[in-house]
Amino acid sequence: MSKIIVNKQDKKSTINKNIYGNFSEHLGRCIYNGIYVGEDSSIPNVNGMRTDVVEALRHIKLPVLRWPGGCFADEYHWKDGIGPKESRKRMVNTTWGGVVEDNSFGTHEFMEFCRQVGCEPYINGNVGSGTVQEMSEWVEYMTFDGESPMANLRRENGQDEPWKLKYICVGNESWGCGGNMRPEYYADLYRHYQTFLRNYGDNKLYKIAGGPSNDDYQWTDTLMKMAGKYMDALTLHYYTVPGNDWQHKGSATEFTQEDYYITLRKANFMDEIITKHAQIMDRYDPEHKVSLLVDEWGTWFDVEPGTNPGFLYQQNTMRDAMVAALSLNIFNRHSDRVAMANIAQLCNVLQAVVLTEGDKMVLTPTYHVFDLYKDHQDATLLGAFVEEGQAGEGENTIPMLSVSASEDKDGVVHVTAANLSATQSCPVELDLLGGQMGTVTGKILTGSMDAYNDFDTPNTVSIQPMEGITVENGQARFTLPACSVVEITLA
Ligand code: AHR
């Protein structure tokens, strides 16, 4: 019997709703086909945006969306994507598949998509092949209300009112595809660029510096030391890649039990790297003025056989759902420092929440985890103690349970738990300290580790009401089947 003890009096940080954010890039079929089909498409759309995708994202309360990349951000020139569509510049997307990018989805379209979904825009500016002037003018174009060359241009292009823009990042992966820079050089560039990102009227920017990859603690240290006082946040990118190298990442759907545990062990490494980056940040910023945004995370497997290798299209199984459940619990527990996370990516790329093919759309197991966890958005993290067994074998042994708990604004407690074992069910006793347990209900997502939803069978994996919860003497008891994710609500 495992134990979860939640303490309603042990109120910790607010779980920023932006931890449930997403990422969209001009990569493969993420934007074109995935989000945007154009107004003349026979696929139901509003102003070119797929209605099915918009509705699915509204349902999980997507709070924030990052765009236009990724590596693409550092070759994106925003002026190519405004004005009449027929005269927009056509370019080659050299990073992703060498396909023609016709720029029919640009700033206006991105803002329209965010409006329809009801999420906040997060813009990633171009440092790698852009200029200070270009990034500065983009902010002016989007947010200036008065008379100015860029604000006038925006009006000419049909948008009278400025948009609200908070989140802007200066470059992407500047240590890699964004320019192969050293941290000292990037820190200086960051200080320079951010100087010219202006707050117009009551629009207040939240300035984000491009942070480290994985466990590159040197990058974090240098950036905090040299530029910490000029930023609201820095980013962290960490992908879960089960294979030993980038040529052999492993199949998304055909894998062994050992591959499953390797994947979860690697996903669990997120906890260690956040802890260590946060310790470095604590040294320079004990008051927690600078947040950590994990603005790229998720599984990265070999592309689906027969698809363009540059498009990064992969299927999504219960294994992905377990990675999502584990990672989101980690972010919740680190919400004193982690203020945003953006899974990569929204649609048809890497660990997508939705997949599309023509007019069909599938909700992935990962989507359902975001659905199960959405009650944590802006809730208060509660202290939780877990007594559990282990899953996996040898060096791939991991804790069997992953848990986080929060209290929402109505005083309702939500506990999300994943049984990471691929084979063993887990009986659980749940205690609530400092409050009444009340009515206990649950929702569950479960299936074999390689179960997935496809266009012909879209509901193989879906959320179900949880049966068999008993409450006695103020304790709830239930069993988590192998490879399952649950949300337990104590109302
Ligand atoms: O998400 C795919 C790519 O991964 C992004 O473009 C880049 O930032 C990262 O390396």
Residue 113 DSSP symbol: H
Ligand 1 atom nearest to CA at 239: 4
Task: Output the average pLDDT for the chain.
Answer: 97
Over residues 262-277, the pLDDT tens digits come to 999 999 999 999 999 9
Q: What is the mean pLDDT of residues 196-207?
A: 98
Q: What is the pLDDT of residue 388?
A: 86
Q: What is the mean pLDDT of residues 129-141?
A: 98
Q: What is the mean pLDDT of residues 182-200?
A: 98
Ligand 1 pocket mutation, candidates 177, 180, 249, criterion most atoms within 8 A of CB = 177
Separation CA 91–CA 45 (nearest Å): 26
450, 23 contact by CB (below 8 A): no
Ligand 1 pocket mutation, candidates 22, 24, 25, 299, criterion most atoms within 8 A of CB = 25
pLDDT band for position 360 (50/70/90)? very high
- C-alpha dist (Å) from residue 288 to 207, 302, 335: 15, 38, 11
Q: Look at residue 191 and give its three-state secondary structure.
A: helix
75 labelled catalytic: no
Separation CA 30–CA 101 (nearest Å): 13
Tally of CA atoms within 13 A in the half-sphere of 238 that contains its CB = 24
One of 25, 296, 407, 487 is an active-site residue; which one?
Answer: 296
Q: What is the pLDDT of residue 304?
A: 95
Q: What is the pLDDT of residue 288?
A: 96
Q: What is the pLDDT of residue 31?
A: 98
Measured at the alpha carbon of residue 444, what is the angle toward residues 442 and 447, in degrees to the nearest 5? 160
Sorted by sequence, the CB contacts under 8 Å of residue 385 that are 6+ apart come out as: 3, 4, 5, 7
Separation CA 466–CA 443 (nearest Å): 5
One of 140, 173, 388, 487 is an active-site residue; which one?
Answer: 173
Judge whether residue 306 has pLDDT over 90.
yes
Q: What is the mean pLDDT of residues 18-42?
A: 98
Separation CA 68–CA 122 (nearest Å): 9
Separation CA 273–CA 217 (nearest Å): 9
Sorted by sequence, the CB contacts under 8 Å of residue 217 that are 6+ apart come out as: 276, 277, 280
Ligand 1 pocket mutation, candidates 22, 71, 75, 237, criterion most atoms within 8 A of CB = 71
Ligand 1 atom nearest to CA at 344: 1
Q: Is the CB of 172 under 6 A from ligand 1?
A: yes
Q: Which tokens hold the place of 408?
A: 């929402």
**Closest Cα to atom 5 of ligand 1:** 70
179, 127 contact by CB (below 8 A): yes
Residue carrying structure tokens 């084979």: 423
0.95 cut: is pTM over it?
yes
Over residues 373-402, the pLDDT tens digits come to 999 999 999 999 999 889 999 999 999 999
Helix (H) or strand (E) holding 193: helix 183-195
CA of 73 to the centre of ligand 1 (A): 10
